[in-house]
Chain A
Amino acid sequence: AQSVSQHNHHVILSEAASLELGCNYSYGGTVNLFWYVQYPGQHLQLLLKYFSGDPLVKGIKGFEAEFIKSKFSFNLRKPSVQWSDTAEYFCAVNTNAGKSTFGDGTTLTVKP
């Protein structure tokens, strides 16, 4: 069975700080990987996705993620966060057809 682990439950940063959120998955085969963001009171939005090819994936709002197959990781990064990035972030993995598994989420608080 597939599983996803997000190591940081709550991250607090000041504006302009760099961000890296960890995501590791457990599955022995081919995976598709995703990061989602959920702003307070809203539904999830897809930030970026990795299916194949270049392991460094760029998404919306200045986010990027790097797939490291040997480490089973797909960490999310942003060079300089803004107050508006305050939200909950979810990593997800899809291994076959339509089945998806999400991590528990990381709450990011950016202090102005």
Chain B
Amino acid sequence: EAQVTQNPRYLITVTGKKLTVTCSQNMNHEYMSWYRQDPGLGLRQIYYSMNVEVTDKGDVPEGYKVSRKEKRNFPLILESPSPNQTSLYFCASSPESGVALHFGNGTRLTVT
């Protein structure tokens, strides 16, 4: 089954404790992207990747890092999380650049 898998689904952490949210797709898609969703603000793109070792900033990259060492995985790293990064995060992939076609189920992050 074609899918985008995000882990964990829920995460509660404290300010400053490094964390990684994983994202993996099994469709051999070149394009992957991370978004955060906040009430009243829609989705905002954090980072995207056009292919292995090719990543670029979206609209809200501050405080986040990504890597794309292999095509299937695109982890989101928060080196020093802060409460304003409390949000719902989605990973997506697509065979077409710029199109978020297949979404993961989301990761709800709370930073206290």
Is there an interface contact between B45 and A99, defined as CB atoms closer than 8 Å? yes
Known: A32-B98, A100-B98, A104-B42. 18 other contacts (CB 8 A): A34-B100, A43-B103, A43-B105, A43-B106, A44-B90, A44-B100, A45-B103, A90-B43, A97-B56, A97-B98, A98-B31, A98-B48, A98-B98, A99-B56, A101-B45, A102-B35, A102-B43, A102-B45
Residues of A near any B CB (own CB < 8 A):
32, 34, 36, 43-46, 49, 90, 92, 94, 96-105
Q: A43-B103, A43-B104, A44-B90 are in contact. Are A102 and B98 (CB under 8 A)?
A: no
Tell me, rounded to whole Å, the shortest Cβ–Cβ distance linking A104 to chain B. 4
Q: Which residues of B contact A96 (CB under 8 A)?
A: 98
Q: Write 7 A-B pairs (CB below 8 A) sorted by A numbering.
A: A32-B99, A44-B100, A94-B99, A98-B33, A104-B40, A104-B42, A105-B42
Interface string of B50-71 (1 = CB under 8 A from A): 1000001011000000000000
Q: Which 4 A-B pairs have the closest CB atoms?
A: A94-B98, A43-B103, A98-B48, A102-B43
A23 vs B41: C-alpha distance when bound (angstroms): 15
What residue in chain B is nearest A93 (Cβ atoms)? B98
Contact of B59 among A43, A45, A46, A101 (CB under 8 A): A101
A34 vs B50: C-alpha distance when bound (angstroms): 19
Q: How large is the interface on B (under 10, 10 to 19, 20 to 34, 35 or more residues)?
A: 20 to 34
Is there an interface contact between B101 and A46, defined as CB atoms closer than 8 Å? yes
Is there an interface contact between B103 and A100, defined as CB atoms closer than 8 Å? no
Most buried by B among A36, A44, A96: A44
A105 vs B56: C-alpha distance when bound (angstroms): 25
Is there an interface contact between B48 and A99, defined as CB atoms closer than 8 Å? yes
Q: A43-B105, A44-B90, A97-B50 are in contact. Are A102 and B44 (CB under 8 A)?
A: yes
